[in-house]
Structure 1
Amino acid sequence: MEFYLKENGMRVDLNYGELSISGNEDDGFRPFQLMVASIAGCSGSVFRKILKKQRMEIEDLTIHADVVRNPEEANRIEEIALVFTVKGYNLNPQKLDKNLELSRKNCSMVRSVEDSINITERIESIELSR
């Protein structure tokens, strides 16, 4: 990847399109947003693949992320709490928890930062009826 200087930040051209990065939300994505998005996106993608392999009937999956930053240390990210809301049929809470643990072990983004950012995950399941 090559990053290019622009007036209020940086940009990178990727296969999917151009990504603008800036400390100001008016000029691009903020670096901490990209960090949280990469962790939630990776974790969610791996979790979904595991659920699909196990043929669990999932209708929807959303992830809410709460972030704690430390203003005393350059606003570093200290904690990310991810809440996975799974909507589906015949959901087994124990199996969902086990699959979430497995996804954590296989998510490269979580594994990359697990020694420096406290990441917690939990599941809220919503049973749908037919």
Structure 2
Amino acid sequence: MQFNMKKDVGFITNTEFGELHIAGDEAYGYRPFQLMVASIAVCSGGVLRKILAKKRIEVEDITIDTKVDRNEAEANKIEKIYIHYRIKGDNLKENKIQQSIELASKNCPMAQSVKGSIEIEETFELV
């Protein structure tokens, strides 16, 4: 990927899906921490989706909510990401979903990349 400086603030890159604007100020683009949280949450959710499909657990929908703890005293670094899945489907069993989430966490490349530096807590509810 190539990132080019914008005249005002931030950087821009072109992807097959369009332009991605990144800046420390939300007025000019996605903030870097937002992209990191999105990468981890969506990677985890995508791996979870594949695991559920392989286990033949039919899911109608998955919504992912996130919350972040940051440490202002240390460059506002991300210390913890809370990922909460709202999973919709028929006849879902909590123990099977919990096992699948644990397996997804171990197989998500983004989550594994930050292991030991950012804590990730995953919870779920069935709707």
Name the TM-score, length of structure 1 as normaliser: 0.94
Q: Which amino acid aligns with 2:50?
A: K
Whether 1:2 and 2:5 are equivalent positions in the alignment is no
Identity of aligned residues (%): 51
Note the residue ranges of structure 2 that are not aligned, 5 or more in a row: none
Aligned residue runs from structure 1 range 9-88, under 5 A: 9-88=10-89
SS of the residue aligned with 2:26? coil
What's the CA shift for 1:115?
1.0
Q: Which amino acid aligns with 2:81?
A: I
Between the aligned partners of 1:15 and 1:119, the Cα distance in structure 2 is: 30
**What does residue 99 of structure 1 align with?**
100
SS of the residue aligned with 2:89? strand
Between the aligned partners of 1:79 and 1:113, the Cα distance in structure 2 is: 11
Q: Which amino acid aligns with 2:4?
A: Y
**Deviation per residue, 1:71-90 (Å, 9 max, x gap):** 10111000001111111111
> Which stretch shifts more, 55-64 or 90-99?
55-64
| Corresponding pairs, count | 126
After superposition, the CA RMSD in angstroms is 0.8
Between the aligned partners of 2:68 and 2:100, the Cα distance in structure 1 is: 23
Between the aligned partners of 1:108 and 1:15, the Cα distance in structure 2 is: 22
**What does residue 115 of structure 1 align with?**
116
